[in-house]
Amino acid sequence: MTEYGRGPGSQPWHPEDPLYGDRAWDGAQQSSWDSYGGQQQPQEPYYPQQPQHPQHPQQPQEHQQTPYGNWDGSQGGTDQFYGAGVGDPYGQQPPPNPYGQQPDYYGTPDAYPPPRPQRQRTAEPGPDPDTGWDPGPDEGEHAFFADRDEDDDDDEPPTRGGRRSGRSRRGSVKRKSGCACMVVALVLTGGVGTGAYYGYTFYNSHFADAPDYAGQGTGEVHIEIPPESTVSQMGNILKREGVVKSHDAFVAAARNNTKAQTIQAGTYVLRKEMSAAAALTMMLDPASQSGLIIPEGMRASAIYKLIDEKTESPAGTTKKAAKSANLALPEWAGGKVEGFLFPAKYSVGKKTEPKAVLKEMVKRSKAEFKKVESDAKKVGLTPFEVLTVASLIQAEAQDDEDFGKVSRVVYNRLKPDNTATNGKLDFDSTINYALGRSTLDVTVNDTKLKSPYNTYRHPGLPPGPIGNPGHQAIDAALNPTKGDWLYFVTVKPGDTRFSVTLEEHNEHVREFNEEQRKKRENDG
């Protein structure tokens, strides 16, 4: 496309020519020479052809440069996009331009492409050889926080000399730069604070000592350690109850003490705010264990009183619970509690419910009596009868070697062919149980007591256990010592005499009576 009123020339165009690199409306670059050196024909404009008027004298153009060059990427002025020096196609005379620029002949609302506001900047000497743009003395490399989009503040039209009216651009940049600095400073401060927090946490968890109290603590607190508790679980319980300051402190103390693994389930009387080491030492001391110890052979009535005292419950509370509560007794118990309160150490504190203690005892007995259930047939008895025999052995035997012999006497007397006693056991312990006492002075009149537990009157075993036997008595009931003994008497502590005949037994009884006479004289 050539200029209106300008004939095609034969000389090549120079890049400094205002129309060099001019693009047509379809975006193709135009030149008066085709790509093979041939001259192109003038192209028709998209609007109807009008009579041409003489070309206005071309005004000298003032090359206006932007930081990014012209819209078409050339180095020309701001009006080159529309074709600098083109004539008035409609025969209109352009108004004089007071600033020496060419008029915009297509600056109408319907023109295409729409005009885009151009930033005007006076060219400075020393253009870049590649782009023709020199940033100038104050447009070079900015500080990082001063950089911003140039179009952010271009809402106001440029005035003469390229300056804007209204607020100061430099002041706006400073205010925005200050905000940016503040935001980044806050972000950096937050990052440093977060890093310091995680660093402190990492140090405490990996290198610093666990929080711990100092000293032996104060007051008194009952701590219940459930069965099969680990050291870590113990630490959590102690921390929750306020005994130690942290779980880790107790675990660390236990790691340094080889006896820590021997701590068993139970109730411990400790103090508030103790050091972890002091708490561990106290738990390893048997005196700190708030346990209820049930000795072998103790009767249920005596156990009820111990539980009431230990739990600080009103008298009779445990006895009522034994009658009304569901203790989960085995079926072969026949609803009887006696004999199923297994002798052992139980964890009992002030806040423990008596019913809970009874349930724990029955649970323990059921676990211990599995052998009774499996081996009872070997001795020709039921599990309940074996438990009854064990209770008799527990009440009558004094020394360890006596348990098996007493058991043999019971089985020998229960034999159908026993004509010496005719199936009667003749045990003083059964009369004492019926009378609710414990003594060696059983008179002839006591043997006439009307009670199913009086084995002097009733042959065979009593209706049930007369106490709560332990391991040794149960084992003796299942494994009696071989022998023919039908009689025995404890002449004095540690001296139990066993005999086969009644005559021998009566001689041992005379010696027993003599020992009792001496004892009364010494006591009187």
Q: Model's pTM, two decimal places? A: 0.55
The residues, any chain, with a CB within 8 Å of residue 101's CB and separated by 6 or more, are 61, 62, 64, 77, 78, 79
Count Cα atoms within 13 angstroms, Cβ side, for 258: 0
221 phi and psi angles, rounded to 5 deg: -145, 135
Q: Are residues 445 and 330 in the same domain?
A: no
In Å, how far are 15, 127, 190, 435, 453 from 450, measured between CA atoms? 141, 134, 91, 10, 8
Q: Are residues 433 and 498 in the same domain?
A: yes
Angstrom distance (rounded) from CA 450 to CA 431: 10
Q: What is the pLDDT along the chain (524 residues), one digit of tens a residue?
A: 444 444 444 455 455 555 544 444 444 444 444 444 444 444 444 444 444 444 444 444 444 444 444 444 444 444 444 444 444 444 445 555 544 455 554 445 454 455 555 555 544 555 554 445 555 544 444 444 444 444 444 444 444 444 444 444 454 555 556 666 666 666 566 666 666 666 655 655 555 689 999 999 999 888 888 888 999 999 999 999 999 999 999 999 999 998 998 898 878 889 999 999 999 999 999 888 877 889 999 999 999 999 999 999 999 999 999 999 999 999 999 999 999 999 998 878 877 899 999 999 999 999 999 999 999 999 999 999 999 999 999 999 989 999 999 999 999 999 999 999 999 999 999 999 999 998 888 899 999 999 999 999 999 999 999 999 999 999 999 999 999 999 999 998 889 999 999 999 999 999 999 998 888 888 86
Query: What b/e string do you get for 470-489 counting C-beta neighbours within 10 Å, with b at 16 or more?
Result: bebbbbbbbebbeeebbbbb
The tokens for 518 are 């001496």
- CATH number for the domain including 282? 3.30.1490.480
Identify the DSSP state of 262. G
Angstrom distance (rounded) from CA 475 to CA 272: 44
Q: Are residues 316 and 393 in the same domain?
A: no
Is the CA virtual torsion 243, 247, 250, 254 positive or negative? positive
Domain span holding position 348: 295-368
Q: Are residues 273 and 231 in the same domain?
A: yes
Domain boundary among 368, 385, 420: 368
Q: Are residues 359 and 375 in the same domain?
A: no
Indicate the residue type of 409: V
Q: Are residues 235 and 300 in the same domain?
A: no
Own/partner contacts of 378-382, CB < 8 Å, gap of 24 or more, are: 378/478, 379/411, 379/477, 379/478, 379/480, 382/332
State the first-to-last Cα distance of the chain, in angstroms, to the nearest integer.
150
The tokens for 362 are 């029955």
Find out whether 479 and 404 touch, Cβ atoms under 8 Å: yes
Q: Are residues 341 and 315 in the same domain?
A: yes
In a domain? residue 139: no
**Residue 297 backbone zone (phi > 0: left; psi -120 to 50: alpha; other: beta):** left
Paired residues of 347 in beta bridges:
291
In a domain? residue 66: yes
Q: Are residues 238 and 257 in the same domain?
A: yes
Looking at the structure of the chain, the number of domains it has is 4
Domain boundary among 94, 109, 124: 109
